Amino acid sequence: MKWTACTLREHDKNESVAMMNHELANEWFGTSNLVIPFYSGSHQLNLPLTRNTKRNNPSLDFPTSAFRALHIPYSSNIGIRKIGTGIEIGPWIGLLTAGSPRTSSQPFGARSNYIRSFLQSARSMGYYFAFTLNDINWHNRTIDGFMVDREGRWHLRTVPYPNVVHNRIPTRGLEQSKPMLRFQQELKRLNIPIFNAGFFDKWNVYSSLLRDSNAAKFIPETHLSPDQSMLSVLLSEQPDWYLKPINGCLGIGIYKLSKKSNADIVLQSTVRGKNDSKEFDDPNDVIRYLKRKHGTLKDYVIQEKVNLLRCENDPIDFRVHLNKTRSGDWAVSGIGSKRSAKNSVTTHVRNGGQLQSALPMLRKIQPQQAEHMHYKLEQTGIKIAQAIADESVNPVGELGIDLGIDQRNRIWMFEANAKPGRSIFKLPELKDANRHSFQMLRDYAVYLSETSNTTGGYDD
């Protein structure tokens, strides 16, 4: 159910009554004076409703006691909607994260600036806050959430359970912790949606995309759990492959595997810009070496190497950042190119890769087809994002998808990120796109609150 934009104020009358502009009050409840329930997230308060004939636009005036009882932090432009015989106030949007050390100026450690940017972009309708698992008050269904004012200053407020949770938990370990599992169960019980609920498993993503006729053509040949016999067969078919951990990130644990003309096998890796190379006589030696380092390769995939477009002989790939809109459709919010460092195994920035806006890079390496290829990257990203979202149990509202273009201008997908970084938005050309991306996150959260059967945790 959609929200009606409304101005919420605190009135100075002694009576414990709610005052609503007469036109909307009559439309929703007729002309009778009623005592109605007001819902704010997980809390309810019954108040007599009177009409305010001095205001024409949707407005609601509460006594101070109602602000306290419903955990409303301040007067604001909010949304209201009729729920049965009552009125719900919202939307309450919570961003779940982590971060330490916690200080008054950096309540989420190094993530504080990102979170501040999101919260500042969201000051349009409703209440937006950030919190950690330690901030949840399980017994009374409140959260000690951090909000920001227009000047970007932090304020700690006790707020109700939200209508929607945006998951930005930064590590897999924390995401699989007992408090997180408990919170997810609580959200499910109260029918509160959480979007981008978990990190992706590369193999699960590849498998789901291979089942989708629109997306399967973008996936390079990929196999799970490589062993000696698999390596022998694959290296006889093609000399160059990549080994990737299915739960990896930032390029950590990725190897390039190459069979040379003299039959030697070269295994390369790059860690924080430092390249390492080892040679082996046969696939069995490779597998033994990797198992000594990692214990098992059951959590690895082996993927065909794509002969990517290059800039001055350095491989190039592209990060396509996508968001869902207020209507629930996918839109590209920004595309950046990543240029590999010399001899690096990956294009990741932590391994020396260089970021540049996608279109200037395409104009440099493919001047005749730059705009066309940029459009193809956008459309491919949208197709893949839709396929991933269709397969997901929980809503997905934001994705970072890594694409490559080969020497024949065919596009390939290498990875999809459920918690994408925002490095590309540091580029000057994408400054406006960064702002727009945050706004789309806000809009999608509102969309979820309108299309999900939730009242922010209230269950009678």
Using alpha carbons only, what angle is made at residue 427 by residues 374 and 122, rounded to the nearest 5 degrees? Answer: 95
pLDDT at 459 over 70: no
pTM for this predicted structure: 0.93
Residue 84 CB-density burial (10 A; 0-12 exposed, 13-18 middle, 19+ buried): exposed
| Residue pLDDT, tens place only, 183-194 | 999 999 999 999
Intrachain domains 4-90 and 93-199 with the same fold: no
Strand partners, 412: 404
Peptide bond into 428 cis (omega under 30): no
Averaging pLDDT over each range in 114-128, 257-271, 320-334, which range is the top one? 320-334
CATH of 202-447, one of 3.30.70.2970, 3.40.640.10, 3.30.470.20, 3.65.10.10: 3.30.470.20
Q: What architecture does CATH give domain 4-90?
A: Beta Barrel (2.40)
| Residue pLDDT, tens place only, 349-358 | 888 889 999 9
pLDDT at 458 over 70: no
416 token code pair: 């999809």
Residue ranges of the domains in the chain?
4-90, 93-199, 202-447
pLDDT at 128 over 80: yes
Q: What architecture does CATH give domain 93-199?
A: 3-Layer(aba) Sandwich (3.40)
Strand partners, 257: 241, 267
C-alpha to C-alpha distance for 58 and 89, rounded to whole angstroms: 13
253-262, 265-274, 351-360: segment of lowest average pLDDT: 265-274
pLDDT at 271 over 70: yes
User: Quick one: three-class SS letters along the chain?
Assistant: CCCEEEEEEECCCCCCCEEEEHHHHHHHHCCCCEEEEEEECCEEEEEEEEEECCCCCCEEEECHHHHHHCCCCCCEEEEEEEECCEEEEECEEEEECCCCCCCCCCCCHHHHHHHHHHHHHCCCCCEEEEECHHHEECCCCEEEEEEECCCCCEEEEEEECCCEEEECCCCHHHHCCHHHHHHHHHHHHCCCCEECCCCCCHHHHHHHHHCCCCCHHHCCCEEECCCHHHHHHHHHHCCEEEEEECCCCCCCCCEEEEECCCCCEEEEEEECCEEEEEEECCHHHHHHHHHHHHCCCCCEEEEECCCECEECCEEEEEEEEEEECCCCCEEEEEEEEEECCCCCCCCCHHHCCEEEEHHHHHHHHCCCCHHHHHHHHHHHHHHHHHHHHHHCCCCCCEEEEEEEEECCCCEEEEEEECCCCCHHHHCHHHHHHHHHHHHHHHHHHHHHHHHCCCCCCCCC
> Which percentage of the chain shows pLDDT scores above 90?
82
C-alpha to C-alpha distance for 301 and 318, rounded to whole angstroms: 21
What pLDDT shows up at residue 456?
A: 55
> What's the sign of the alpha-carbon dihedral 342, 348, 352, 357?
positive
Beta-carbon contacts of residue 272 (< 8 Å; ≥ 6 apart): 350, 351
C-alpha to C-alpha distance for 131 and 143, rounded to whole angstroms: 7
